[in-house]
Amino acid sequence: MAWPEAGWLAGPFLACCLLLVRSGSGKWVEPSVTGRAADAIGLPGSRAAVRTLAAVEVAAGIAGVVVGGAAAAAVAVVFAALAGVAWRLTRHDVAVPCGCLGATDTPVSFTHIVVNLAAAACALGAIGLGAPWRRIPTTPLLGLSLVISSVTIAYLVEVLMEATGSRKKGIVR
């Protein structure tokens, strides 16, 4: 199946990849919050461990955009693993910030689990499809709308995760 037959999936999958790149970049720049969350549930939380995770997230996100297809499996695995970590954090200590986006101190919430599982499912749906960037040059206006909508989706998901965690913490923004 090529992207034209599954055009509805191109935007959400691209948004998932962008969210991974954003998440990994945040962890790379400020690994301490993610390190504390990892330590809290018995995972390696050193600066090197967090930066390794950050590099994996960024690489998977970029591969999903550039290569597509089989690289979508890597995107799905990363998001499934992040859902597992979020679930463990909710079972352990709700006061521990997740560090999912790097420096933010937002505590993990059920929304984090749902978003990660939805992103994993989206990526699984993208396995066998082509790279989303290949669609952009063939139809510039459609490509531009795809990029704009994908960036918007990724941003809104980030805002949603921050807002639900902040509400859980008792912060009103």
Query: Which of 76, 56, 57, 55 is closest to 13 using CA atoms?
Result: 76
CA distance 112 to 36: 17
Q: Which residues share a beta bridge with 107?
A: 97
So what's the pLDDT on residue 173?
Answer: 37
DSSP conformation letters of 90-140: HHH-TTSB--TTSS--PBP-HHHHHHHHHHHHHHHHHTTS--GGGHHHHSH
The tokens of 142 are what? 């459609």
So what's the pLDDT on residue 165?
Answer: 55
Q: Which residues share a beta bridge with 97?
A: 107
So what's the pLDDT on residue 172?
Answer: 39
CA distance 110 to 108: 7
Structure letter (DSSP) for residue 86: H
Domain ranges of the chain: 8-166
The tokens of 35 are what? 């390190």
Average pLDDT per consecutive 10 residues, the chain (173 residues; last block may be shorter): 56 87 90 89 93 96 90 95 91 72 74 89 84 66 70 72 57 40
